[in-house]
């Protein structure tokens, strides 16, 4: 079998990849909607993989892996890797989890990062009300993550929250030291949400990037009595192309509150210091940024050897991302907690993709399926959502 083409289009807002072969077996994958600009970057790799055997996944990815980088520039390599696994599974007549060593669990736990409701404001009462809506969601999530501080509007919307001026750019460029008022507000909002969660639902917080280490330590110590699942991406995180393992190590050693990071990191090499220094308690690479699903599996196993937990990121990875995450997370060792559940957005995505269970999530879990490949496919309705100039994408 040989690769004859690599195609990329944007369906809705999500870049979608199709790898075409000479035996009529295609592989598909999807990239989060915030990266609609990645199409030319995906197609840059076309000439590198043409003529290769797609079932030799590692051999193909070795040709392009070193050309990627931290989020968002690792997404193209990652998406190609996942589409290759889709082909390899279909060619073998096996689900991808069998090719990755076989499932060790029949259902995979997920946590809520994408089933969201607008906040009415940024007071503790507003966060509590919003948490109550998420807790009542029919997926019955056992773990819910909420954005606070610099991850979301809190820092810019609460006057005097930090010593700095909110920026007007995207990708969370704000950063600064918290005021006493800001720290107290953050603690109060956290306490209000945890009161709603009780001990039935775990609470995780996405906090940055943008916090400074001394503020993270003060906050983490102040909420130790709440037994949070973790506080995530405080110092670094989304769209930050470095790791700062030394700063995370200082934070982690200073508190019993679990510390989490990793969604923007590309490749196992850049998790090395975090893992070997035990600089964090939990890591959360995104399969569509870290280099793919086999890269995620390798990192998880190495983290397990060092007593570090795994909770993969994935909130924007779409329905093909759900499928890929189910496949790999079914095979992970016992340091696996849950993956961040992505949704189809807009809702018509559920009309154009076949193969997912209905409902997808029950009691915070997804049943692992045994369909060949990643187990989901586009149906004929998907053609209606192709850009006019790319109506031949599926031909």
For residue 383, is it within any domain? no
CA distance 44 to 148: 37
Do 91 and 102 sit in the same domain of this protein?
A: no
Do 334 and 360 sit in the same domain of this protein?
A: yes
Q: Is 53 exposed, middle or buried (0-12, 13-18, 19+ CB in 10 A)?
A: middle
Cα 234 to chain center, whole Å? 16
Q: How many CB atoms lie within 10 A of CB 246?
A: 11
For residue 389, is it within any domain? no
CA distance 316 to 68: 19
Do 108 and 81 sit in the same domain of this protein?
A: no
**CA diameter of the chain:** 64
Do 36 and 127 sit in the same domain of this protein?
A: no
pLDDT value of residue 166:
83
Do 133 and 194 sit in the same domain of this protein?
A: yes
Query: What is the total residue count of the chain?
Result: 395
For residue 392, is it within any domain? no
Please list the ranges in the chain whose pLDDT falls under 50. none
Question: According to DSSP H, which parts of the chain are helical?
Answer: 39-44, 46-49, 57-62, 75-92, 96-99, 124-135, 154-157, 180-197, 213-222, 245-252, 272-276, 287-290, 293-305, 318-329, 349-352
Do 113 and 90 sit in the same domain of this protein?
A: no
pLDDT value of residue 173:
77
Parent domain of 79: 3-95
CA distance 117 to 127: 11
Domain stops at, among 78, 95, 112: 95
Q: How many domains does the chain have?
A: 2
CATH classification at residue 11: 3.30.390.10
Do 21 and 71 sit in the same domain of this protein?
A: yes
For residue 96, what are its two tokens?
């991808």
State the helix-helix crossing angle for 245-252 and 213-222, rounded to 10 degrees. 30
For residue 229, is it within any domain? yes
Do 142 and 14 sit in the same domain of this protein?
A: no
Cβ neighbours of residue 276 closer than 8 Å, sequence gap 6 or more:
306
Do 103 and 145 sit in the same domain of this protein?
A: yes
């Amino acid at each position: 079998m040989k690769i004859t083409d690599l195609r990329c289009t944007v369906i809705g807002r999500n870049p979608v990849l199709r790898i075409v072969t000479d035996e009529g077996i295609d592989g598909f994958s999807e990239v989060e909607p915030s990266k609609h600009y990645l199409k030319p970057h995906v197609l840059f790799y076309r000439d590198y993989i043409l003529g290769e055997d797609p079932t030799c996944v590692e051999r193909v990815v070795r040709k392009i892996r070193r050309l990627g980088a931290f989020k968002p520039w690792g997404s193209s390599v990652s998406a190609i890797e996942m589409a290759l696994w889709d082909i390899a599974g279909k060619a073998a007549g096996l689900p991808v989890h069998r090719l990755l060593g076989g499932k060790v669990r029949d259902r995979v736990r997920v946590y809520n990062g994408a089933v969201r409701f607008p906040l009415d404001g940024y007071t503790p009462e507003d966060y509590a009300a919003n948490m109550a809506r998420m807790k009542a969601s029919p997926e019955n999530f056992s773990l819910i993550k909420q954005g606070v501080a610099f991850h979301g509007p809190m820092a810019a919307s609460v006057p005097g929250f930090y010593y700095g001026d909110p920026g007007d750019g995207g990708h969370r460029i704000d950063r600064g030291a918290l005021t006493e008022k800001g720290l107290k507000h953050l603690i109060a909002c956290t306490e209000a949400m945890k009161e709603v969660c009780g001990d039935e639902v775990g609470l995780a917080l996405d906090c940055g990037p943008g916090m400074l280490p001394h503020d993270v330590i003060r906050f983490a110590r102040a909420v130790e009595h709440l037994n949070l699942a973790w506080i995530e991406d405080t110092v670094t995180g989304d769209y930050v192309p470095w790791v700062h393992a030394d700063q995370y190590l200082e934070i982690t050693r200073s508190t019993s509150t679990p510390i989490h990071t990793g969604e923007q990191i590309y490749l196992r090499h850049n998790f090395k210091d975090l893992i070997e220094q035990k600089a964090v308690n939990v890591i959360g690479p995104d399969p569509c940024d870290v280099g793919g699903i086999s890269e995620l599996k390798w990192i998880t196993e190495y983290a397990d050897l060092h007593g570090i937990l795994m909770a993969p990121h994935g909130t924007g990875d779409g329905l093909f991302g759900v499928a890929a995450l189910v496949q790999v997370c079914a095979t992970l060792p016992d340091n696996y907690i849950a993956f961040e559940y992505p949704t189809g957005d807009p809702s018509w995505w559920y009309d154009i993709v076949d193969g997912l269970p209905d409902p997808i999530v029950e009691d915070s879990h997804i049943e692992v399926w045994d369909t060949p490949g990643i187990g989901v496919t586009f149906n004929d309705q998907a053609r209606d959502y192709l850009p006019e100039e790319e109506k031949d994408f599926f031909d």
